[in-house]
Structure formats: C-alpha cells, structure tokens
Amino acid sequence: MFKTKIRHSKRFQVIINTFLHNGFSHVLHRLGITDRISSKKENTTDVDINMQDIGVKLRRALQDLGPTFIKLGQIASSRHDLVPIEISKELAKLQDHVAPVSFEQIREIIEAELEDTIENTFLDFIEKPLATASIGQVHIAHLLTGEEVAVKIQRPDIQPIVKTDLSILQNLARFLEDNTAWGKTYNLTDIIDEFSRSLLDEMDYRVEGRNGERIAKQFQNESAIHIPTIYWDYSSEKVLTMEMIRGIKINDMDRLNSEGYDQNIIAKRVVDSMFTQVLKHGFFHGDPHPGNIYILPDNVVAYLDFGMVGRIDDELKYHFASLIINLQQGNTDGLLKTFSEMGLLSDETDLPSFKRDLDDLQTKYYDASLKDISLGGIFIELLSVAYHHNIRIPTEITILTKAILTLEGLISELDPTFSIMKAVEPFGKRLVAERFHPMYILKKSWHETMDNIDILFKLPKDLKDITSKIKKGKLQLDISFRQAEKVLNRIDRISNRLSLSIILLSFSILMVGLIIGSAIAGQTNLLWNFPIIELGSIVATLMFLFLIFSIFRSGRT
C-alpha cells in the first residue's frame, strides 16, 4: 500500500509538471489543483483563450505523458459534446508510435506467456517488428505447421503504468466533479470509469481476439469481407497470434489503381459492411482508419485490429436511425422528440434555445443533395449543439460518429461521388419499418406485460418496505411538482394497463379451463344456446388487440 501511494504521488507530480511545462499553470490553478500560477506571464486576466492554441498545447502534453493519455486524447477527440471543436481537431492528430522494444524483451514475454521457447513454438520469427505502438508491437512469424502469422506482443511493464494513470484520472475526475459545475454536469467519473474499462479491455489481447471472432461471424456467409483467423493455442492476455494479412492498405490509391482494383466496389463494400455491423448487429469496429483496412484480391475487404469496438443496442439503433431521418427531412420537432426519448433532456435544458439551434442546423442542410452532405459532419455539428446546451450524448454515438468520419475520409479518396448519407438511408428506413412491424410490437408488448406483472408481484413487498420506513421515520420524498402531473398520468396508464393485462390473463386461463373441461367430459360448448368458448375467444382476442393498440398509441413501443 505504501509503495503504491509513493508510485502514485511520483506519477502525479510528473503529470502536473508536464501540464505546467506546456503552459497550463493558469488552468491548474483555477481548478484548484495547484496553489499558485508558476509563470508571472500567465498571472493576468488577459489569458490566451485561443482554442486552437490550447488544443496544440494539450496534444503535446498528452503525447509526452504516454499511452494512457494518448488514448484518452484520441477518445476525447471524438467527444464533440464535451470538447470544443478546435481542441478536438488537434487531439485527433495524436500519434501512437514509439521506439520498438528490444527482441530480448519480446522473447521473454512470449516464452513466459506461451510457456515454451520461441524455437519450439514457431518455425521462424522475424526479430524486426512490423509495427510498433505505445501498448504493443507486431512481429511476423511462421507456425510449425507453416501458416504465416502476425504476432502482437504487449510492451513489458506497461500494465502497472496504465493502472496507476487510470487511478490518478479517477481521483482527478472525482475532484473535478465535486468542485466544478462542468465536472458535475457531465458526470466525469462515469466517463473515466468507461474509459478505464475500455483501455483495460484493449490491454487484454484475449478480448481483442474474441471481438474479431464476433465480427467474423457477422460475415461468415459473405466472401467479400475477411476477418483474420485467431490462433488461440498461441495466444494469451499479452500475446495475440493471428493470420497474417498480405494486402494493399485502403488509402494506397496508386497501387490500387495500378493493379486494377475497382474503387467503386471497394467503397460500397466498406460502407455496407460497416453499417451492417452497426445497424444490423449492433457491434462494430470502432477504429476503421487506413492502417486497419486492407484490400485483398477480387476487391475483398479485410478488417484488422479489434481492440476498440462499439456496441449499440436496439433502442439506440432506432434512435440513431431516427436522428438521420429527421435530419434528412428537416424535422426539428422529430429531433427534439428523439433526444427526449433518449433521456438526454433535463429540466435545466433551455428547450426554446435548443430548438432554435437545431432549426439553424436544419436550415444549413435544407434541400442539399445527399451526395453533398457529410453524415459525420452533420453529427459533429449536432454534438457541438449538444455541447453548448450541456447535453451529454451516449458514448456509443460518439464512437460511431468518429468511425463514420474516418470512413468518410477513406471513401472520399476511393470514390468522391459516393454518398455515405445516401448509403445509410435504406438501413435507417429498414430499422424504422421493423420498429412498427406487428411482430416487433407483439414482442415488446409481451415483455412490457411481463415486466408489469413482475412489478405487481413485488408490490406487496415494496409496500411493506415503505410502511416499515414510514414507521421508522426514514422515508424521504423528493418530488418535482413541475413533473408531478406527468408522473401521475404515467402511473395511471401503467396501472390501467396492468389491470387489463391481469384480466386478460385470468380470462385466458378460464377459457383454457373450459376448453379442457369440455374436451374431457365430451360435452357441448353451448350454454343457454350460446357458443361460450367461441364467444369467449372473440372477447379475449378483442381485449388483447385493445391492449396492443393502447401500448402502440402511447408511443412507448
């Protein structure tokens, strides 16, 4: 414990000194992290607030601090709901290239992880790395069975450094959340916790391997998309052995042209495959930059490096599609409704001002041709509007926005006439259509009914707990009267729907009993000359249809 504190304090001092050296003493002082401003030049009210200049200084500081802060800066560059656009553009320039680790150290790591010598594991192993980064480096080798492989090895002693940095960042986030309105508004601790999980996953190469295999299953019947095979017998937490891809980097236009590749087909396959990942499967490559996409013979697209992935659930897929369609149609009210359904608007949100900014954004793209519209550019502007209104966008959307921006840069080189906005339109319309498909509505209705029944079963226990707290004087009420009527109406609808669901369930059980009883007894289904079972079935069906209709009409499908 004592050694850990010493290590943390030393590293924290290095971090502070790095930011001081890059001209952030005034910022650190204003945040309360340092007691004084180190430079007399900065001790003035005329502080340089040029955002681009701040971005350059911040990029240099993060670059100096190593892998954790480089990764943090790269992710922050996509958070246009948190970071001003001028700073995010600078952070996007952060490079993740460092000097290679010596082969002796690489040998030690491989042999410790795979529990055998390199000579017994590989037919040959090229000592010079193919690529290097702050977390690991890649070497080419051949397995004893002859397959050519790329072996990714984690740099030695990188985990303690990263874990120390993450611990410091978590403490800093708590401090800023407790002492600044900005930190509290954006829940900085949640953001850093999310970043920590993502980075620790990226440092476990087994997670990367499983991510690759999961995306490979999405295209198992698609010969135009290739995902490298993982060799699990030669992989571990710090070593990942995968199929070596020999292809052409997607931005090597000269070679693609000279060797006769069809860039139009490549552009369409890349875009279709990305939106298949995003809007069909909800699990996608989070960093599709040129170094991670290679082109194989017959215009086959190969994806590499699945350390960073994005996840988007069914609800978020629908909301993303709704945002795209409302942007295309210039429907500001639709955008506001989508933001509301995503739970992003609060009582503090200035809705008239937010609506005006959305109207201005819509006007900019009104009647514009789809081929002239950048989907990533629109979302950057949308995130910037959210930033000015203190609206925090889900991380999944920001990762997706970054991926789309990267993709648009690649596609514009492959085929300048290709419109990603137009390509995503069928995916979005299909999602919206699926949302209102009868089978989807039935499925959602069934789950909601089961949830309501579960609430009913738990109601006696909840009432008992509330009564107990009232008796002990421990019950606390926090009621917003501005929302009271809305809450009460919602509760009333839920209770009515619960009652109808229970009646329908009871009636169905009764009808089943009558059917089984009449079948066993061999008696007629007539009662006072009325076909009771047939009539009851019609009533049950009408009740069920009314329940479905009421849920559908409420807009909460």
Structure tokens, 149: 């492989």
Q: Strand locations in 271-334, DSSP E?
A: 283-285, 293-296, 300-303, 309-311
Q: Strand locations in 459-555, DSSP E?
A: 526-527, 530-531
Residue where the block lists tokens 């359904």: 341
Q: What is the DSSP string of 223-251?
A: TTEE-PPB-GGG--SSEEEEEPP--EETT
3-state secondary structure 44-68: CCCCCCCHHHHHHHHHHHHHHHCHH
What are φ and ψ of residue 225, in 5° steps? -120, 130
Pairwise CA distance, residues 258 & 400, whole Å: 33
Phi/psi-derived region of residue 202, left when phi > 0, alpha when psi is between -120 and 50, beta in every other case? alpha
| Residues 6 or more apart in contact with residue 71 via CB below 8 angstroms | 96, 134, 195, 199, 202
Cα–Cα distances (Å) from 438 to 185, 279, 434, 443, 553, in that order, read: 40, 20, 9, 9, 13
Residue where the block lists tokens 């194989």: 296
287 flagged as catalytic: yes
Pairwise CA distance, residues 275 & 396, whole Å: 14
Q: What is the Cα 115 distance to its own chain's centre?
A: 36
Pairwise CA distance, residues 443 & 420, whole Å: 32
Among 287, 298, 305, 478, the one annotated catalytic: 287
Number of residues that make up the chain:
557
Half-sphere exposure of 73 (CA within 13 A, CB side): 25
CB 349 within 8 A of CB 389: yes
Structure tokens, 16: 């502070």
Structure tokens, 535: 């009539």
- DSSP tag of 155: P
What are φ and ψ of residue 226, in 5° steps? -125, 130
Could you count the other beta carbons within 10 Å of the beta carbon of residue 313?
Answer: 11
Residue where the block lists tokens 């702050």: 134
Pairwise CA distance, residues 319 & 326, whole Å: 10
Cα–Cα distances (Å) from 330 to 244, 384, 388, 425, in that order, read: 47, 18, 21, 15
SS3 282: coil
| Residues 6 or more apart in contact with residue 330 via CB below 8 angstroms | 362, 365, 366
Convert 364-381 to b/e letters by CB count within 10 Å (16 or more is b). ebeeeeeeebbbbebbbb
Instruction: List, by residue number, the catalytic residues.
Output: 287
